[in-house]
Amino acid sequence: MIPFQALLLFALAALILAITPGPNMVYLISRTLSQGQKAGLISLLGVIIGFLFHIVLVSFGLTAVLFTIPYAYTVLKWTGALYLVYLAFQALKPNGKNIFAVEQTLKVDAPSKLFSIGFLTNVLNPKVAVFYLSLFPQFIKPAYGSIFFQSLTLGTTQLVISFLTNLLIILFAAKLASFFQKQPFWVKIQKWFMGSVLLFLAVKMALSKGR
């Protein structure tokens, strides 16, 4: 079983992923602002099913890779650290995109299309795949028990955090968009906080010991 402290650290990384601007967030906010909360919630359901798709694939894949390929852990560790540095740069770079600066006038789509687009947006989102493949191995150790079960535990944690975060964004999309447009100073605070946490996680990951 993964130690509670390690699970909390992973939860923090998952939260940072959830609030980092990306295809999923832009799509959900766009749909909510243009077609209402119901459309946003249907789209979110598709996104969540997309997460399940990634979780199952990664859980089976990591179980095989970590036991069969020498130095796989080291490669994944540094890949994850570099990826977090990249995300930090994206958050801190000047003139970064405001997460609420999205298209608000989209055509009305049927629920089935909203769901399918949300699903495909997530399944085809490289950020999610790289997050799973690079960060999961940092918190998985054979001493904790089944690698497959540990992967599912991490995946479930990330899934719940992503769902709750995006749900709040959908429910308050219009108010949040209006607030950040009127108070750009808070956008800068959010960016610097996000970038600092990402850099901290990257350093911690790079300095972590192997198995």
Tens of pLDDT, residues 22-56: 777 778 887 888 788 899 999 999 999 988 988 88
**Token pair for 43:** 């789209």
Question: pTM of this prediction?
Answer: 0.69
Q: Write down the residue that tokens 């709750």 correspond to.
A: 164
- Summarised one tens digit per residue, pLDDT across range 79-130 is 767 766 776 776 677 665 555 555 555 678 899 999 998 898 787 766 677 7
Helices (H), the chain: 4-19, 23-35, 37-68, 72-92, 111-123, 126-139, 147-171, 173-182, 184-207
Q: Write down the residue that tokens 């209402």 correspond to.
A: 36
